[in-house]
Structure formats: C-alpha cells, structure tokens
Structure 1
C-alpha cells in the first residue's frame, strides 16, 4: 500500500503539519524533530506526492522548456545551463523538442501549460502572432531563451546576433578579403538567420564592398546544407576567397567540401562562423568563430524566470550577453 504523510506522522509521533514542514525544507523545525521525521520517512519508504503538493500550493515547481533541436550541441549547452540553475532553486524541468517547426512549437507550448508548469522557457525561431496568442493564454511567466522578439513585451536572454555576424565578417575584411560569401540560416529566423545576414551586409557596406546576391546561400543549420552551399560557391566562375557561415555546423560542412576538392583552409579559402560549439575545436583546421555564451544564456534565462515566478523585482527583462571572437586556424590572409 502507498505510504502517506499520515503514516509518517504517526511513525514519528508528530503532526502531519510538522512532516509537511520537514519535507518542504521549512526552517522552523527543531533539528531533533527533523531527524526523527527523516528516520521515519526512511523506514517507511515514503515519497512525497508532487501532484498532491501542487494541488495544495497551486505550484508544481516545474518549468517547461521548449527546445528547437535536442540533437544540436548548441542547444544542449543551453539546456545544461537551465538545468543547473533549476536544480539550485529546486525546480524540475520538462524538456520538449520542437524540431524548429512552428506548429509543433505551438502544440508543445499548450501541452506544457496544460501540465500546469510554473513557468516557461522558449527557445525557437521567429515569435509569430500564433506564438504570441499561445503566450497570452498563459498565466505563468515566460522567458525567451537564445531568441527575442521585436515588441519587447516578453522577457528574453540572448546575444546581439547582428553584431556577432558583423564582427566575424570584419575579421575577414581585416585579413584583406573582399570576395566574401555567406552561408545563411533561413531569413525567417530573426536571430541565426536574418540578424546574422544583416550583420554580414552591414560589414560589407561599411568596407565599401558591393553586396553580391550570388555569394549568399540559405542553409538549414545542418552540416549537409553547409557542404552543399560550399560546393555551389566552388563551382562559380570566380569563387570567393572567404566564407562566413551562420553556424559552426554548416561551416564544418563547408570546410570538408573545400578539402574534398583538394583545396586548403585557409590557404585557398578562409572560413569563419558564429557559435563556438565543441565541434569548432574538433575540426581540422580548428574553426575561427564568434562565441556566444550558450551555457550562460541558459543559466541567466532560468535565473530570470525564477525571479518572475517568485514575483521578485527585475531590473532588466531583456538581457543581451556579450559575444567574443575566438581566433583559431581557419582564417588567413587573402591571396
């Protein structure tokens, strides 16, 4: 039979209220009484009923996390930051993969809200009107994590993606490159896509380099799309001397396509990207990239959400974390 809080109270010789205070880490319990309750819990094998506690307190101590692609190492690093801070503040997380599909994102958001989560962290692409509608029906705090939206109505934690891309292209320009291609994410994605594309164009314009549409290919963030885009650039009559990729994974695909043609990186073509995933230091040559602090984005997002859930004062609801150029071996001077 299921052991109840009543059984523990009777075994320990205390009231059910005292057992509840011990289980919920209430400091107003004498050490000797606390010890007696824990011994009774251990003898009986009592496990607190989270559902019952949630019904009583109207809190589930659970946070829903919508992640675009659970197999992507970048998002795994964000999730690690979220979980570490969640554990610190005694929250559990429900992690849901949405496959970067709007319909699935909306469905997952609604499912998590139906499960009575205390808060929601959303990692995804564009925050559309359909997303906003789902968020408006929520009566819990929501924080956008590694993404943002234009209105500024929702709390968010991210980097300045346009500035990160600008700095990457600037690094190529400083090496003398004037024929710079880009492997972009979808332009419907406000951060990895459109913002990084805007940073690319801005850097070219400031350097007086004419934007050439033929030097831009749209990828899907995956290795194969980076490899395909690079093969297209290599088949051009006048191939570029450098390539800026919106993500590390596509950049690595590009590097391998270059090497498959018997060419060298950076001897023949330089490659740079944004992310600084673990793969960036595993590929050869090691990839020069702009690092976004993915663990910190997750950790800061979760800490911001805890403040909102506890109705604490929040000085800044839209947080922009710094990025940093990490110089390795994939960028050289233009020939």
Structure 2
C-alpha cells in the first residue's frame, strides 16, 4: 500500500502540517522534530506526491524540453547543460524527441503544456507561425534553445550562425582557395540551413569570388547526404579545392568520401564545418571547425527560463553566445 503523509505523521507523533513543513524545507521546525520526521520517512519509505504538491502550489517544478533528434550527439551536450542548471535550481526535466517534424513538435509542445510544466525549452529547427501560436497560448514561459524565430519575438539563446559560416569560409579563402563548395542544410532551416548559406555566400562575395549554383548541394545534416554531395562535386570541372559543410557530421562524411575516391584531405580538397562535435577530433585528419558552445547554449537557456518562471528581471531576451574557430588538420593552403 502507498505510504501517505498521514502515516508519516502518525509514525513520528506529529501533525500532518508539520510533516508538510519538513518535506517542503520550511525553516520553522525544531531540529529535533525535523529529525523525528525524517526518521519516520526513512522507516516507512515515504515519497511525497509531486502531483498533489503541484496542485497545491500550482507549480510542478518540471520543465519540458523539446529536442529535434535525440540520436544526434550535438543535442546531448545541450541537454547536459540544461540538466545541470535545472538541478541547481531544483527543477526536473521531461525530454521529448520530435524527429524534426513540425506536426510532432506541435503535438509534443501541447502535451507538455497539458502536463502542467512550469516552463518550456524548444530546441527545434524552423519556428513557424503554428509554433508561435502554440507558445503564445501557453500560460508558462517558453525559451528557444539553439534557434530563434524570424521576428525575434520569443526569448532565445543561440549563436550568430551567419557569422560562424562567414568565419569558416574566410579561413578557406585566406588559405588561397577560390573554388569552394558548400554542403548546406535545408534552406528552410533558419540556422543550420539558410543562415549558414548566407554566411558562405557573403564570404565569397566579400572576397570577390562568384557564387556558383553548382557548388552548393543541400544535405539533411546526416553523414549519408554528404556522400552524394561530394561524389557530385568530384564530377565537376573545375573540381572544388575546398568544401564548407554546414555541420560536422556531413563534413566527416565528406572527408571519408574524398578519401574513398583516392584523394587526400587537405592536400587535394580542404574541409571545414561548424559545430565541433566529439567526432570532429576523432576523424583523421582531425576536422577544422567553428565550435558552437553547446553546453553553454543549454545552460544559459535554462537559466533564462528560470528567471522568467520566477519573474526575475532580465536585460537580454535574445542572447547571442560567441563561437570559436578550432584549427585542426583538415584545412591547408591551396598548392
């Protein structure tokens, strides 16, 4: 049978109100009484009913997190940052995978709100009008994590994806490359797709290099899509001497495909990307990339959400974190 607060009170010889104060860390309880209650809780194996406590306080101390693809290692580091800050502020996390599908994202958002979460972190791709409508009908705060809405109306934490891509392509240009191809994400994705394509394009234009449509292929962020893209690039004349990939996973696929075709990285074709996942330092040659501070994105997003949930003042509702170039071995000067 379930042990109740009444059973604990009877075991400890105190009132139910006293047990409630002990469980909720109310300081107005004598140390001796607190000790008796904790001993009774331990003997009986009592666990407070979080649902009942939530109904009474109108808070569940739970935060919902919508993650686009739980199998993608880059989101694991974001989730770790979220979890660490959540623990610090005594919140629990409900993590939901949405498979990068808008319909599932909307359904998960509504399900989490029905569960009476105290706040919501959304790690999606495209933030559509349907997403905004779901967020605006929410009675709890929502923070966009690693993405942003087009009109910058929602609180968000991210990097400047356009500038990150610009910096990456500029490295290739500074190494003498002019025939630079790009493996992009979908251009409907405002961050990994469109913004990073815009950064690629601006870097070329700034250097006076023509933007060639045949040097751009759309991938799906996964290893396999870059294989097809690189095989396509290798048939072009002139063949690209460098490739900028929108994500590390596609860049690793590019390195392997170049090598499988009997060419060398970076001597024949240089490769650079954005993200800095763990595999970037495991592939050979090690991947030169622009690092997103993934842990910090998660941690700062969760901290911003705690401020909104607790109605604390905050000066910045759209936080842009710095990125960093990580020089490794996949880029060299054009011979």
CA-to-aligned-CA distance 1:42-98 (integer Å, 9 cap, x gap): 011101011111111111111000000000010111001101111111111111101
Report whether the alignment pairs 1:281 with 2:275. no
Cα RMSD of the aligned pairs, angstroms, is 0.8
CA-to-aligned-CA distance 1:79-128 (integer Å, 9 cap, x gap): 01101111111111111101111111111101111111110000011110
TM-score when scaled to structure 1? Answer: 0.99
Other structure's SS at 2:29 match: coil
* Residue equivalent to 2:162: 162
* Residue equivalent to 1:133: 133
CA-to-aligned-CA distance 1:7-51 (integer Å, 9 cap, x gap): 111211222222112212223323222211110100111010111
What are the residue-to-residue correspondences of 1:317-328 with 2, within 5 Å? 317-328=317-328
What are the residue-to-residue correspondences of 1:173-322 with 2, within 5 Å? 173-322=173-322
Cα deviation, residue 216, structure 1: 0.2
Other structure's SS at 2:181 match: strand
* Residue equivalent to 1:63: 63
Other structure's SS at 1:217 match: strand
Other structure's SS at 1:53 match: helix
Gaps of 5+ in 1: none
Cα deviation, residue 180, structure 1: 0.4
Distance, in Å, in 1 between the alignment partners of 2:247 and 2:67 is 17
* Residue equivalent to 1:77: 77
Distance, in Å, in 2 between the alignment partners of 1:251 and 1:42 is 54
Distance, in Å, in 2 between the alignment partners of 1:92 and 1:226 is 38
CA-to-aligned-CA distance 1:225-277 (integer Å, 9 cap, x gap): 11111111011121100000000000000000000011000010000000000
How many residue pairs match? The answer is: 335
* Residue equivalent to 2:117: 117
Distance, in Å, in 2 between the alignment partners of 1:236 and 1:118 is 54
Distance, in Å, in 2 between the alignment partners of 1:28 and 1:180 is 68
Distance, in Å, in 2 between the alignment partners of 1:124 and 1:318 is 16
What are the residue-to-residue correspondences of 1:13-52 with 2, within 5 Å? 13-52=13-52
TM-score when scaled to structure 2? Answer: 0.99
Distance, in Å, in 2 between the alignment partners of 1:27 and 1:154 is 38
Other structure's SS at 2:163 match: helix
Distance, in Å, in 1 between the alignment partners of 2:30 and 2:316 is 40
Distance, in Å, in 2 between the alignment partners of 1:184 and 1:84 is 32
Distance, in Å, in 2 between the alignment partners of 1:136 and 1:323 is 30
Distance, in Å, in 2 between the alignment partners of 1:254 and 1:311 is 47
Other structure's SS at 2:66 match: strand
Other structure's SS at 2:143 match: strand
Other structure's SS at 2:144 match: strand
Bigger drift between 13-22 and 186-195 goes to: 13-22
Other structure's SS at 2:259 match: helix
